[in-house]
């Protein structure tokens, strides 16, 4: 669609799997023309990750949405030359290779800047482009540990755990998308130059670690794992109900706390002089949580939820995806897009967010077939002759 806010922005996506491609998916969802380079014959490994349907990963349908897939062997000198020619015609080059790879291919920033002075190079890697760890492999699971997330995730009497998704990669992808658009604004609105956006996965994770650094620096305090609770904020946790379900309750605002205590029949705790602010409640955390737990165990989830809503206390369930697809809020907000895999075969994928009132994002097409846009990009966009194009196919370059 031509009215999408990033229409006209051209992005060359190099790399594979998650962090870089998630950034590309965000930009493509809002109208950027994202040309994705994939390895001939095999393509991005994500095409074959997790659950497969009719030969293709269901994950790929949304990760590859609105992108144009071309094949190109970047290990061949001719493939590197073609990639450099493509980079000369785009606004942004997005890559998540090991640092030094593009330089080895003759595509470092200074080299590309010589042929495309305004180019913005968005580089996503585990450890960043500099520093003693730069050349190390850097998968998100390791970077989540180094960034501090794993240490604080789980229960205090058990080993650290990971979240159920590749959160480090997607956090890095979001930082990359933000950095790309900041650089575009600087170049196109402020009249600045192109530049390098250097995103490290561990730094994207560390950026989410709230006040931990200042707390340690000034007080020597190390935040530990607290399970379903949140250290230093009371009450906020997940509580069991008598029908075997769980309800999340956040009663940590001062007035909310009092409404919560009255709702569970504990006016003594509501009016307790030491529990009128969060600092005081932290001292009585065990007593408060025990009171809430004893109450929720007398309620079904629906009963507890209704009473919390009536008392205007933030609360909610612990949803599986099966619960999510039935939820009225998700459906009212249009959080599921139904797209065709092929005629007569449709599937739900997540909608493009955030929602913009005048220029919303959306799905124009799902993750394309491998090399689906080769002719369009090589013949029309790059301007190769038909003979040159056929030669590249014969040589296995595309």
Assigned domain for 240 exists: yes
Q: What is the rounded CA–CA span in Å between residue 265 and residue 250? A: 17
CATH code, domain with 268: 3.30.1540.10
Q: What is the rounded CA–CA span in Å between residue 304 and residue 270? A: 18
Is the backbone peptide bond immediately before 354 cis, with ω within 30 degrees of 0? yes
* Residue 200 near residue 128 (C-beta atoms within 8 A): yes
Residue 231 pLDDT? 86
Q: 288 Cβ partners below 8 Å, 6+ apart? A: 234, 235, 269, 275, 281
Q: Are residues 382 and 279 in the same domain?
A: no
Mean pLDDT throughout 328-352?
A: 96
Q: Which residue out of 73, 91, 169, 289 is catalytically annotated?
A: 169
Q: Are residues 247 and 190 in the same domain?
A: no
CATH code, domain with 148: 3.40.50.10540
Residue 1 pLDDT? 56
* Residue 166 near residue 143 (C-beta atoms within 8 A): no
Helix axis angle, 167-188 relative to 19-29, nearest 10°?
A: 50
- Where do we find the tokens 């080993």? 159
Q: Are residues 162 and 295 in the same domain?
A: no
Q: Are residues 43 and 135 in the same domain?
A: yes
What percent of the chain shows pLDDT beyond 90? 98
- φ/ψ of 364, rounded to 5, equals -85, -35
Q: 233 burial class (0-12, 13-18, 19+ CB within 10 angstroms)?
A: middle
Q: What is the rounded CA–CA span in Å between residue 49 and residue 390? A: 31
3-class SS shares of the chain: helix, strand, coil, % to 5: 40, 15, 45
Q: 248 burial class (0-12, 13-18, 19+ CB within 10 angstroms)?
A: middle
Assigned domain for 291 exists: yes
Domain encompassing residue 129: 10-208+335-394
Mean pLDDT throughout 356-366?
A: 95
**Confidence band for 3, pLDDT divided at 50, 70 and 90:** confident
- Where do we find the tokens 């669609």? 1
Q: Are residues 118 and 48 in the same domain?
A: yes
**For residue 240, pLDDT beyond 80:** yes
Residue 114 pLDDT? 96
Q: How many CB atoms lie within 10 A of CB 225?
A: 18
Assigned domain for 52 exists: yes
Mean pLDDT throughout 198-221?
A: 97
Q: Are residues 345 and 305 in the same domain?
A: no
Assigned domain for 219 exists: no
Q: 184 Cβ partners below 8 Å, 6+ apart? A: 9, 91, 92, 120
* Nearest alpha carbon to residue 236 among 206, 207, 256, 214: 256
Assigned domain for 157 exists: yes
Assigned domain for 324 exists: no
Q: Are residues 72 and 121 in the same domain?
A: yes
pLDDT digits (tens, 9 = 90+) for 113-171: 999 999 999 999 999 999 999 999 999 999 999 999 999 999 999 999 999 999 999 99
Domain boundary among 287, 317, 347: 317
Q: What is the rounded CA–CA span in Å between residue 230 and residue 205? A: 18
Domain boundary among 317, 348, 377: 317
Q: Are residues 246 and 383 in the same domain?
A: no
Assigned domain for 81 exists: yes
**For residue 2, pLDDT beyond 70:** no
Q: What is the rounded CA–CA span in Å between residue 80 and residue 352? A: 33
What percent of the chain shows pLDDT beyond 70? 99
Q: Are residues 303 and 339 in the same domain?
A: no
Residue 62 pLDDT? 95
* Residue 198 near residue 208 (C-beta atoms within 8 A): no
Q: Give bridge partners of residue 237 from the DSSP assignment.
A: 249
Q: Are residues 57 and 197 in the same domain?
A: yes
Helices (H), the chain: 19-29, 58-63, 77-87, 101-104, 109-115, 140-146, 167-188, 201-206, 212-219, 254-263, 267-270, 278-283, 285-296, 301-310, 321-324, 328-332, 374-375, 386-394
Q: What is the rounded CA–CA span in Å between residue 84 and residue 86? A: 5
Q: Are residues 150 and 250 in the same domain?
A: no
Assigned domain for 14 exists: yes
Inter-CA distances, 296 with 169, 300, 315, 317, Å: 37, 8, 12, 13
Among this protein's residues, is 169 annotated catalytic? yes
Mean pLDDT throughout 178-203?
A: 98
Residue 8 pLDDT? 96
Mean pLDDT throughout 90-105?
A: 97
Domain boundary among 282, 317, 352: 317
55-71 burial, b at 16+ Cβ within 10 Å, e below that, comes to ebbbbbbbbbbbbbbbb
Q: Are residues 259 and 342 in the same domain?
A: no
Q: What is the rounded CA–CA span in Å between residue 70 and residue 36? A: 6
Number of separate domains in the chain:
2
């Amino acid at each position: 669609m031509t009215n999408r806010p990033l229409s006209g922005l051209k992005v060359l996506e190099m790399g594979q799997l998650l962090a870089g491609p998630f950034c590309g998916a965000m930009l493509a969802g809002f109208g950027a023309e994202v040309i994705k380079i994939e390895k001939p014959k095999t393509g991005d490994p994500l095409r074959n990750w997790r659950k497969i349907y009719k030969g293709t990963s269901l994950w790929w349908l949304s990760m590859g949405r609105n992108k144009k897939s071309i094949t190109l062997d970047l290990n061949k000198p001719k493939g590197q030359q073609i990639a450099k020619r493509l980079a000369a015609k785009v606004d942004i080059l997005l890559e998540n290779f090991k640092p030094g790879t593009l330089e080895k291919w003759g595509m470092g920033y200074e080299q590309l800047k010589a042929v495309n002075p305004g180019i913005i190079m968005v580089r996503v890697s585990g450890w960043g482009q500099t520093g003693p760890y730069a050349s190390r492999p850097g998968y998100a699971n390791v970077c989540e540990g180094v960034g501090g997330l794993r240490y604080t995730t789980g229960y205090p009497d058990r080993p650290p755990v990971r979240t159920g998704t590749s959160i480090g990669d997607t956090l890095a992808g979001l930082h990359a998308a933000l950095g790309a658009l900041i650089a575009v604004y600087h170049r196109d609105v402020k009249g600045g130059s192109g530049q390098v956006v250097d995103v490290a996965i561990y730094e994207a994770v560390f950026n989410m670690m709230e006040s931990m650094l200042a707390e340690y620096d000034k007080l020597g305090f190390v935040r530990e794992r607290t399970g379903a609770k949140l250290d230093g904020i009371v009450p906020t946790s997940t509580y069991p109900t008598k029908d075997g379900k769980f309800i999340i309750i956040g009663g940590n605002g001062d007035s909310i706390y009092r409404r919560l205590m009255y709702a569970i029949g504990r006016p003594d705790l509501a009016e307790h002089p030491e529990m009128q602010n969060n600092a005081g409640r932290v001292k009585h955390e065990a007593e408060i949580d025990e009171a809430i737990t004893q109450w929720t165990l007398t309620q079904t989830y629906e009963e507890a939820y209704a009473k919390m809503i009536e008392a205007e206390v933030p609360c909610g369930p612990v949803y599986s995806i099966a619960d999510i697809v039935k939820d009225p809020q998700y459906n009212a907000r249009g959080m599921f897009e139904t797209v065709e895999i092929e005629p007569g075969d449709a599937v739900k994928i997540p909608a493009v967010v955030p929602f913009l009132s005048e220029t919303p994002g959306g799905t124009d097409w799902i993750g394309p077939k491998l090399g689906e846009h080769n002719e369009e990009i090589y013949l029309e966009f790059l301007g190769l002759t038909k003979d040159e194009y056929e030669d590249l196919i014969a040589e296995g370059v595309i």
